Amino acid sequence: MIDLAASFDAQYSQLTPFLIYLITALVIFAETGILLGFFLPGDSILFSAGLVTATRHDTNIAILVVSIFIAAFLGDQVGYVLGRTIGRPYLEKKTSARIKRMVIRSERFYGHSGWWAVVTARFFPWVRCFVPPIAGAAKMNYYKFLSANVLGALLWGVGITLAGFYSARFPWVKSSSYAIAAFFITASLISATWHYFRAKRD
Q: What is the pLDDT of residues 60-112, one digit of tens each?
A: 999 999 999 999 999 999 999 999 999 888 888 877 778 778 888 888 888 87
The SS3 assignment for 10 reads: helix
Predicted TM-score (pTM) of the model is 0.79
The pLDDT, as a whole number, for residue 189 is 60
pLDDT in tens, 8-61: 566 667 778 899 899 999 989 988 887 776 677 778 888 888 888 888 888 999
Residue 4 above 50 pLDDT? Answer: no
| Count of C-beta atoms within a 10 Å radius of residue 88 | 17
The pLDDT, as a whole number, for residue 113 is 80
pLDDT in tens, 135-173: 999 989 999 999 999 999 999 999 889 988 887 777 655
The pLDDT, as a whole number, for residue 3 is 46
| Measured distance CA(102)–CA(178) in Å, rounded | 35
Between 157 and 120, whose confidence is greater? 157
**Using 50, 70 and 90 to split pLDDT, how confident is the model at 5?**
very low
Reference 80, options 128, 130, 133; nearest CA is 133
The pLDDT, as a whole number, for residue 197 is 62
**Using 50, 70 and 90 to split pLDDT, how confident is the model at 1?**
very low
Q: Exposed, middle or buried, 65 (CB in 10 Å: 0-12/13-18/19+)?
A: buried
Contact between residue 153 and residue 72 where contact means Cβ atoms under 8 Å apart: yes
Cα–Cα–Cα angle for 184, 76, 10, rounded to 5 degrees: 70
The pLDDT, as a whole number, for residue 6 is 47
The pLDDT, as a whole number, for residue 110 is 83
| Measured distance CA(30)–CA(22) in Å, rounded | 12
| Measured distance CA(133)–CA(152) in Å, rounded | 15
Contact between residue 117 and residue 131 where contact means Cβ atoms under 8 Å apart: yes
